[in-house]
Amino acid sequence: MMTSYENQVVWIIGASSGIGAALARELFKRGALLALSARRKDELDRLKLELDDTSKVFVLDITDPDMTLRTAHAIRASFGRIDRIIFLAAAYVPMKTTELDIAVTKGIIDTNLTGAFNVVHAVVPILKSQQQKGQLALCGSVAGYIGLPEGQPYSATKAALINLAESLHAECRDLIDIKLINPGFVSTPLTDKNRFEMPMIMQPEDAANAIADGLLSRSFEIHFPKKFTLLLKLLRLLPYPLSLRVTRKLV
Q: Which residues of 19-30 are buried (b: 16+ CB within 10 A; e: fewer)?
A: bbbbbbbbbbee
Which 3 state secondary structure label does DSSP give 25? helix
Which pLDDT score is estimated for 37? Answer: 98
Cβ atoms of residues 137 and 86 within 8 Å: yes
H or E element at residue 228: helix 226-237
What pLDDT score does 251 carry? 58
Distance between CA 44 and CA 36 in Å, rounded? 7
Beta bridge partners of 33: 9
Q: How far is CA 189 from CA 61, 87, 214, 233, in A?
A: 19, 17, 23, 26
- Residue by residue, pLDDT tens for the chain (251 residues) are 578 999 999 999 999 999 999 999 999 999 999 999 999 999 999 999 999 989 999 999 999 999 999 999 999 999 999 999 999 999 999 888 888 999 999 999 999 999 999 999 999 999 999 999 999 999 999 999 998 777 889 999 999 999 999 999 999 999 999 999 999 999 998 888 887 788 899 999 999 999 999 999 999 999 999 999 999 999 999 999 999 998 887 65
pLDDT at 148: 78
Domains of the chain (ranges, CATH numbers): 9-248 (3.40.50.720)
* Count of CB atoms situated within 10 Å of the CB of 56: 19
Minimal CA–CA distance to 144: which of 158, 131, 126?
Answer: 158
> Which positions are annotated as active-site residues?
154
With residue 71 as reference, give the H or E element that holds it. Answer: helix 65-79
Strand 84-87 with 9-13, pairing: parallel
* pLDDT for residue 197: 84
What's residue 1's pLDDT? Answer: 59
Q: pLDDT value at position 249? A: 76
Q: Helices (DSSP H) in 130-203: which residue ranges?
A: 154-172
Report the alpha-carbon distance of residue 149 to residue 128 in Å, rounded.
40
Amino acid type, 41: K
